[in-house]
Structure 1
């Protein structure tokens, strides 16, 4: 696969992944915290805590969905594999879990710690939903391109997990 084709494929799929993650994140946020009500920030299930599953699951889903779609497209001949080192973890699910743990450790925990340290007990709904949208989009924009490049560098005939 040519460099420009890889860039276009990764950019397009990352855009769709980011939009999808944002929409799902908003729906989950409204289901958990309601609509237009102040959002509690502290405690299990509150705003700060909710970044933990969000970061992990967003990264996991972006890696698994993007990797799976890419494998199918390679198998069908719609896209060509990319030259480069084969990923160390061959399982899409294994990579998804690793990306999820990285997002949890490097993204969710610091964000939750800052919120907890702020001393704020309640947050305005619009500010809270904006924070969740930005966070989810950032995770998708970071994880998806990496997961896609991993899948593009796998051997072309590898079976789907």
Structure 2
């Protein structure tokens, strides 16, 4: 019995994998940049915690858009289906979404009333942000690649 192509299942799996990978990578990069010792982190100098949202937002959104798109395009080709959207546009849209979210968090962190944050809650937030951004950018990218198939299955 041949296995039937299920775009909804593929979308759910890729979103979950992306969220998990980006949450773990956020943990690793946080530990490299700020360490894991419990201490206050300044939003501005010397720690520049607020500024760290930009590289995280760019890299998570880039990888969460590019890698799953390449994987899914390969699977679509195997099925004899050609994605309507070009890969460059799909990835650029995801990266722009990541940059926008990072700029909002940067502005809130720098302009808000808090000048420092404890490192462990900051770590938890960065892990959550990385996972959520990975999930959202993967969904954005893949629903751009396979929109017709997702609508057909929903009907």
Number of equivalenced pairs: 143
Structure 2 residue matching 1:17: 3-state secondary structure:
helix
1:96 to 91, 110, 120: 91
- CA distance in 2 between counterparts of 1:50 and 1:44 reads 12
1:159 equivalent in structure 2:
none
> Aligned-residue CA RMSD in angstroms?
2.4
1:141 equivalent in structure 2:
135
Q: Which runs of 5+ in 1 are unaligned?
A: 155-161
Structure 2 residue matching 1:35: 3-state secondary structure:
coil
Structure 1 residue matching 2:6: 3-state secondary structure:
helix
- The 5-angstrom pairing of residues 30-69 of structure 1 reads 30-38=31-39, 39-43=41-45, 46-69=48-71
2:152 equivalent in structure 1:
none
The change in CA–CA distance for 1:33 and 1:9 in structure 2 (over 3 A counts) is same
* Greater Cα shift, 44-53 or 26-35: 44-53
Query: Could you tell me whether the CA contact under 8 Å between 1:82 and 1:153 is conserved in 2?
Result: no
- How far does residue 45 in structure 1 lie from its aligned partner after superposition? 6.2
- How far does residue 53 in structure 1 lie from its aligned partner after superposition? 1.3
Q: Which runs of 5+ in 2 are unaligned?
A: 149-155
The change in CA–CA distance for 1:9 and 1:65 in structure 2 (over 3 A counts) is same
TM-score, scaled relative to structure 2: 0.80
1:158 equivalent in structure 2:
none
